[in-house]
Amino acid sequence: MTRTSAPIPTVSSRLKPGDIVERYRPRGRALAQYETYYRNLHRDPELSQQERMTSLGAAQTIMVSDDFRVYTDIGGHGFIGVLDNGAGPTVLLRADMDALPVRENTGLEYASQKMMNDADGNDVPVMHACGHDVHVTCLLGAAKLLYDAREYWKGTLICLLQPAEELVSGAQAMVDDGLYTNYGIPNPDVVLGQHVFLLYKAGTIGLSSGAIMAAVDGLKIRVFGKGGHGSMPNTCVDPIVIASHIIVRLQTIVSRELQPGKVGVVTCGKIQAGTAANIIPDYADMELTIRSYDVDVQKQLLDAIKRIVRAECDASKSPKQPEISKTAHAPATVNSLEQTDILQSSFSTYFDDNLGPMEPLPGSEDFSVLARAINRPYVFWALGGCDPDRWDKANNNGKLGELPSNHSAEFAPVIQPTLKTGIDALALAALTFLN
């Protein structure tokens, strides 16, 4: 779906980006509308690749202004809203919008009670347990701010809502579906985004150059045995025992093979085998997630996993070679030095003491794919979401690590000042490169 752009306004006398944000940010009833939007979105989440209503609602919000060209159903339920505002740089702001199969336990008045069918047909609870509802709401608020302030900047603004981030596949799906070739938009000069965390106090921003989030690789492994009666294991080859040995041995990769000081994570988060206690099955399935910041470490981890799986199968006389397939991949998020320095200056002036470093996290994102696909720089920062009093108490007691992490059933960013700060940060970042 497209909308026709209105005439381009002329650029007025120059203001600093922070002054523009202060002048045009949503306040009062306008800000309350975004708070309501957020509550409704949190109450009604959608799983990866099923974000149809989330995407539609966001698109309708941006389409309140005819000046935005809107394109929907890119790479699934992805969409972009494009605001052409004369000759100048192009900035892409990105937010992800999918939720997780988690049963919410926050006790919030607007907590999700929703159930959906997942990709395997299972009826599962659904929750915005990673803050993507915050990301969507902040992007929509920033888009309105930038639209209202369009007399103070020139260029092209692209607001992108991405599906399937939790599968680390949505960004590539949008690129593969012609994001940069089919919609008549210029390639962005910089790609910008943020992620909410409870490790950071609401009202604060974390920003650093270099590697800030790890690469992720997902593996699905099937090891084979010889099934039979549980009372006669001597006549069988037990794939559950093979899988158990593999899981234990995998723990030695990081502790005994990786050079001290290098960072790597190997986790088996899922194992399935068998149908009854007295039946030795024919196979066992495992699913792994692997995290790394360095491509050499990434290769070392993957090579070691494959070696161990095959060796354990051989040692147990498995009748068939194991099956190892990749289920997910996203590169490390490595903020561009020059653009991060530029943004650091702008953020420090505006946020002052509420700006700090973003410590590298072992979590992963496919955000950088949107920039890597066209060899453009990018910057990604942390948005604080923890209630300030709760954060201060945890910090004073040395218990920040006990705050709910992303993907927790208790993950609940405080609405304010989280939304205000997130809207400000996205708008300020865009204006830093457009103004």
379 with 336: CB under 8 angstroms? yes
Mean pLDDT (the chain, rounded): 95
Mean pLDDT of 333-345: 98
Are 142 and 427 in contact by the 8 Å Cβ rule? The answer is yes
**Percent share of the chain, pLDDT over 70:** 97
- What is the C-alpha to C-alpha distance for residues 107 and 309, in angstroms, rounded to an integer? 43
How much is the pLDDT for 156?
97
CB proximity list for 314: less than 8 A, separation 6 or greater = none
pLDDT at 13: 55
pLDDT score of 14:
74
**What is the model's pLDDT at position 92?**
98
Residue 12 has a pLDDT of 53
Angle, helices 239-252/295-315, rounded to nearest 10 degrees? 150
Structural tokens at position 383: 């948005």
For 401-417, how does the pLDDT look when each residue is reduced to its tens digit (9 = 90+)?
999 999 999 999 999 99
Q: What are phi and psi of 93, to 5 degrees?
A: -105, 130
Q: Which helix (H) or strand (E) holds 337?
A: helix 337-351
Can you tell me the mean pLDDT for 136-150? 97
Report pLDDT for 8: 46
% helix, strand, coil for the chain, step of 5: 35, 25, 35
What is the signed CA dihedral for 127, 131, 137, 142, rounded to 10 degrees?
Answer: -170
* Helix H or strand E encompassing 313: helix 295-315
Q: Inform me whether the pLDDT recorded for 299 exceeds 60.
A: yes
pTM equals 0.90
Q: Residue type for 177, please?
A: D
CA distance 392 to 378: 31
Q: Which helix (H) or strand (E) holds 219?
A: strand 215-224
Give pLDDT, residue 435. Answer: 74
Paired tokens of 14: 């120059």
Question: In this structure, what token pair is assigned to residue 293?
Answer: 């910041």
Q: What percent of the chain has pLDDT over 90?
A: 94
Mean pLDDT (whole number) for 112-135: 97
pLDDT of residue 66: 81
Residue 24: the pLDDT is 97
- Mean pLDDT calculated for residue range 413-432: 98
Query: Strands across the sheet with 90-96, in order?
Result: 68-74, 78-85, 155-162, 90-96, 190-201, 378-386, 205-206, 355-356
pLDDT digits (tens, 9 = 90+) for 240-293: 999 999 999 999 999 999 999 999 999 999 999 999 999 999 999 999 999 999
Decide if pLDDT at 304 tops 70.
Answer: yes
Residue 387 pLDDT class (50, 70, 90 cuts): very high
